[in-house]
């Protein structure tokens, strides 16, 4: 969730560390800091709030040094404050840390008894004190880190510098992502490869339990058994333009309107060169024997999975369970056999710790595993048996937009792959043609922006909003409510429209707008009936639908947002755009931080 950067170069590194940290701002943070080594001494500057506050300090206090580490912190242990910000330092080490040290209280008590008192509320400080303890006992820096790692329980990615070892940045990873960048006369450490796009495209991904160090011209990696290990160098296709808003006000706005392009790219990756047939990764299970599929995900990815459940059960006739990753392994689920039960994991970053731990639980049981990820060298992609990429490109806005729609596209292709022998050729061809038409339809909503803005003026005045839908429109309503909560801070809830009469109808009053997802489908008459019940009780309804359904809803709607008439299969793709824009325009009216909403992080790497 936090951002780590480490640089060894021939020239001072502080400014480049700040620039690299800016590429990680999208992950969410509440404080930042940098430490460098200069002439055998540690220098450190920290600040609360945004990186601009750290930059102001750097203008006042020079931070020389050709070796340095930097950090953006998202608070877990201890409030956001300068004292709790990273790096944590002693006279002998500076440490930055992503993750959570679960046994930090026991370690803190032991350290205090030995005279190494702690002064912050963080779990990270014990790492710096432990290293110092072992250095004081005449261990080398390498030996001190090796010994410290044996004491740590939990998840961590670490970068460490020390005046006891002037030419190295040490690192370690367990449960949190970390990448090594290989440059010319310079080397790098980061929690995300995008931070290194301006400096190098040659990267190495340390495995779980790896640790080691980088120097200006070399590196050394040890595995969890402390044996020297080697990993391949990957070439990344990233550019500094990735982190540019271009002509847009916000990354979120840019990424909303990139969806037509990235959906095309994602679908094209799963088509033959002639684009008239699917060309999918090989299924790692026998489709004819599979009688149970479990999809595991968090947040927006979970709602994409809920939509896929409707598709897979309808077309492939395979029972699907959808699980929230943070709950899955703790309820000790009853799993089938490797012959008839597969598990699919969805994660934008491929580093979501809850999803990653659920994956490891399933792998230990011997079931086949598939992942849908946007980062092809991520931990989840490397640890599953089969990986299906989404090709959304880096997503900078914290609230997911294009990654969600590309997850849907990959799930749709996955569904058709499962269904190919279970539906007739005409139906299969029609479904495939409908996927190929999505980008065209997304560009045929000329009044969409204005309609969303008009409706947003109503939502911006509300303290509570309800979203309703049936069929796949129900998980789409859940996703729409999440977007509104995330970026406008308005409380929003979503319900299956038919469930309103079973309790939630008590929430309806003249002050609570209702966003109704109501395109024309086989459930439209029932949806209209549910909305009429809400309208009769004073509900103010904002309807999203096509021309035919909106005509039926015009007498009970205060605002309407029109989408094209499209096949039911692709309605979720078409509804995604107005729902995201509705949340975006509402947030603009509220004056919130659209790209970096309060308290949120892009990549959730702690449980």
Taking the C-alpha atoms of residue 99 and residue 420, their distance in angstroms, rounded to an integer, is: 43
Contact 561/451 with Cβ under 8 angstroms? yes
In a 10 Å sphere around its CB, with 0-12 CB exposed, 13-18 middle and 19+ buried, how is residue 212 labelled?
A: buried
Taking the C-alpha atoms of residue 597 and residue 54, their distance in angstroms, rounded to an integer, is: 20
Torsion sign over Cα 231, 145, 162, 606: positive
Q: Which residue out of 2, 406, 413, 452 is catalytically annotated?
A: 2
Question: Count of H helices and E strands in the chain?
Answer: 19, 25
Can you tell me whether residue 465 is helix, strand or coil?
strand
Cis preceding-peptide flag for 87 (omega within 30 of 0): yes
Query: What's the DSSP call for residue 445?
Result: -
Dihedral angle computed from the Cα positions of residues 353, 359, 363 and 368, in that order, rounded to the nearest 10 degrees = -160
Can you tell me whether residue 595 is helix, strand or coil?
coil
Which residues, including other chains, have CB under 8 Å from residue 25's CB and lie 6 or more apart?
3, 50, 51, 72, 596
Structural tokens at position 82: 């300068």
Taking the C-alpha atoms of residue 105 and residue 122, their distance in angstroms, rounded to an integer, is: 10
Contact 463/488 with Cβ under 8 angstroms? no
Nearest to 517 by CA among 578, 462, 456, 464: 578
Taking the C-alpha atoms of residue 368 and residue 338, their distance in angstroms, rounded to an integer, is: 6
Residue owning tokens 């949340």:
583
Q: Which residue out of 22, 92, 540, 602 is catalytically annotated?
A: 602
Structural tokens at position 385: 């048996």
Q: Helix 402-419 crosses helix 259-269 at what angle (to 10 degrees)?
A: 30
Query: How open is the CA angle 310-314-320, to the nearest 5 degrees?
Result: 55
- Largest CA-CA distance found in the chain, in angstroms, rounded: 81
Query: What's the DSSP call for residue 196?
Result: G
Can you tell me whether residue 546 is helix, strand or coil?
coil
602 is catalytic: yes
Taking the C-alpha atoms of residue 181 and residue 202, their distance in angstroms, rounded to an integer, is: 6
SS (H, E, C) 208-270: CCCEEEECCCCEEEECCCCCEECCCCEECCCCHHHHCCCCCCCHHHHHHHCHHHHHHHHHHHC
Taking the C-alpha atoms of residue 546 and residue 102, their distance in angstroms, rounded to an integer, is: 52
Taking the C-alpha atoms of residue 346 and residue 42, their distance in angstroms, rounded to an integer, is: 42
Taking the C-alpha atoms of residue 447 and residue 497, their distance in angstroms, rounded to an integer, is: 27
363 is catalytic: no
Query: What's the DSSP call for residue 526?
Result: H
Q: Helix 425-436 crosses helix 402-419 at what angle (to 10 degrees)?
A: 170
Catalytic residue positions? 2, 602
């Amino acid at each position: 969730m936090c951002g780590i950067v480490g640089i060894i170069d021939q020239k001072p590194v502080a400014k480049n560390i700040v620039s690299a940290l800016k590429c990680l701002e999208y992950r969410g943070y509440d404080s930042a800091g940098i430490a460098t080594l200069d002439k055998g001494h540690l220098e450190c500057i920290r600040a609360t709030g945004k990186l601009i506050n750290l930059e102001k300090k750097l203008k006042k206090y020079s931070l020389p040094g050709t070796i340095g580490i930097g950090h953006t912190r998202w608070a877990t242990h201890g409030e956001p404050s300068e004292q709790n910000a990273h790096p944590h330092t002693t006279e002998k080490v500076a440490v930055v840390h992503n993750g959570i040290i679960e046994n930090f209280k026991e370690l803190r008590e032991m350290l205090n008894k030995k005279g190494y008192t702690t002064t912050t509320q963080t779990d990270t400080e014990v790492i710096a004190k432990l290293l110092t303890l072992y250095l004081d006992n005449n261990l080398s820096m390498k030996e001190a880190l090796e010994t410290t790692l044996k004491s740590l329980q939990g998840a961590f990615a670490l970068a460490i510098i020390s005046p006891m070892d002037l030419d190295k940045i040490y690192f370690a990873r367990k449960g949190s992502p970390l990448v090594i960048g290989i440059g010319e006369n310079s080397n790098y450490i980061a929690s995300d490869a995008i931070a290194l796009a301006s400096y190098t495209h040659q990267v190495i991904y340390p495995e779980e339990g790896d640790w080691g160090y980088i120097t200006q011209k070399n590196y050394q990696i040890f595995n969890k058994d402390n044996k020297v290990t080697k990993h391949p160098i990957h070439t990344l296709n990233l550019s500094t333009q990735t982190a540019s808003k271009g002509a847009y006000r916000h990354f979120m706005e840019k990424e909303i309107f990139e969806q037509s392009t990235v959906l095309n790219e994602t679908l094209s990756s799963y088509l033959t060169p002639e684009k008239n047939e699917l060309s999918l990764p090989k299924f790692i299970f026998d489709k004819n024997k599979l009688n149970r599929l479990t999809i595991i995900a968090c947040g927006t990815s979970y709602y994409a999975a809920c939509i896929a459940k409707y598709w897979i059960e309808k077309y492939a006739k395979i029972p699907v369970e959808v699980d929230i990753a943070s709950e899955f392994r703790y309820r000790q689920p009853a799993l089938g056999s490797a012959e008839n039960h597969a598990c699919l994991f969805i994660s934008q970053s491929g580093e979501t710790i809850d999803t990653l731990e659920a994956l490891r639980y399933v792998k230990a049981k011997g079931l086949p595993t598939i992942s849908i990820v946007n980062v092809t060298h991520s931990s989840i992609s490397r640890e599953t048996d089969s990986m299906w990429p989404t090709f959304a490109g880096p997503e900078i806005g914290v609230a997911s937009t294009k990654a969600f729609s590309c997850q849907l596209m990959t799930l749709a292709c996955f569904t058709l792959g499962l269904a190919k022998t279970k539906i007739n050729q005409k139906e299969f061809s029609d479904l495939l043609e409908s996927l190929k038409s999505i980008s065209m339809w997304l560009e045929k909503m000329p009044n969409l922006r204005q309609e969303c803005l008009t409706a947003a003026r109503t939502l911006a005045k509300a303290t509570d909003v309800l979203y309703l839908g049936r069929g796949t429109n129900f998980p789409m309503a859940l996703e729409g409510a999440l977007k509104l909560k995330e970026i406008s801070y308005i409380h929003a809830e979503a319900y299956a429209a038919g469930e309103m009469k079973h309790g939630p109808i008590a929430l309806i009053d003249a002050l609570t707008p209702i966003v109704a997802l109501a395109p024309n489908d086989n459930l439209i008459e029932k949806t209209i009936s549910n909305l009429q019940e809400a309208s009769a009780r004073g509900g103010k309804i904002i309807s999203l639908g096509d021309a035919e359904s909106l005509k039926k809803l015009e007498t009970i709607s205060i605002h309407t947002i029109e989408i094209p008439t499209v096949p039911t299969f692709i309605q979720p793709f078409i509804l995604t755009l107005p729902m995201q824009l509705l949340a975006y325009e509402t947030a603009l009216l509220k004056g919130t931080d659209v790209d970096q909403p309060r308290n949120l992080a892009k990549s959730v790497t702690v449980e």
